[in-house]
Amino acid sequence: MRIVVLDGQTLNPGDNPWTALEALGDVMVFKRTHPEEVAVRARVAEIILTNKTRLPAEVLEQLPDLQFIAVLATGYDVVDVTAARARGIPVSNVPEYGTEAVVQHVFALLLELCAHVGLHDAAVHAGEWTRAPDFSFWKVPLVELAGQTMGIIGLGRIGQRVGSVAHALGMRVMAATGRRRDAPPYPVIWADIRAVFAEADVVSLHCPLTQQNARFVDATLLGRMKPSTFLINTARGGLIAERDLADALNAGVLAGAAVDVASTEPIVVDNPLLTARNCIITPHIAWATLAARRRLMETSVQNVRAFLAGKPVNVVNA
């Protein structure tokens, strides 16, 4: 079986080998593949693994031998799943591998907004503490989370786990979600999105990006927020109208934001969030702990193995 990995660098930069996949066929791994290279590199592929390299309908039409697509992620919007279904090509994703890593990153971002650890560390190393007249100083107001409200948009696996950590920190949990699963083992205030943005002290996005909700976090919704509120996005950059968020931050409509994702990745030099006030940006790393990447590799190989056995699993376009 001819297997092509279109963008293997982020999953395996050298610490997460492809050994188990190589046992299943003739594997060719490309670190990165530009859009104009996809059809050529994948032309002989019977199985394709892709993370962020797009497979639109016009590319799929040029791949006559393709039988299966394994997405190296939970989100699968990089593949035209409708076109794949029409060709009888199952597409599988990895439903759960990075929950703990993403939740950890959510609170790393939030705690940085609250305690400004990096700012104070830099101040100490710059000599400000040695010159201080008092035993303690802080450069900006510090925020305590206990007693505040965590608003979660999308209470799936990751959203529920964010809620559990927030609850453990003494926060109330408020949620808006498209589909209610089993009630989590902590109290949840159910509300619509507008109410969450209006009432929560922290709003964290954990919903998939769809045509219906693209850029739904816009000036109108941001205008409902309290000026003390923080916004966290570790989901998809396209959920936010970035110019609107930058304008809101610069105007003090909300206290701060922290994002791990951007509408275009890598982030473009003129992205307005790069110069917005009180905005922390990390380069889409919430998913990328070694432990999470090993789980992602293991499940992706299992997806390929199941397809080869004639019983594909985690299929998103059945």
Task: Identify the active-site residue in 105, 206, 236, 295.
Answer: 236
Q: Strands, DSSP E only, in 21-129? A: 26-29, 47-50, 68-71, 91-92
Task: Identify the active-site residue in 172, 284, 293, 295.
Answer: 284
167 given a catalytic annotation: no
| Residue 270 exposure: Cα atoms within 13 Å on the Cβ side | 0
Peptide bond into 266 cis (omega under 30): yes
Helices then strands, counting H and E runs in the chain, come out as: 11, 12
d(CA 150, CA 305): 40
d(CA 254, CA 233): 14
Sheet holding 172-176, edge to edge: 189-190, 172-176, 149-153, 202-205, 230-233, 256-259, 279-281
125 given a catalytic annotation: no
236 given a catalytic annotation: yes
- Known catalytic residues are 236, 265, 284
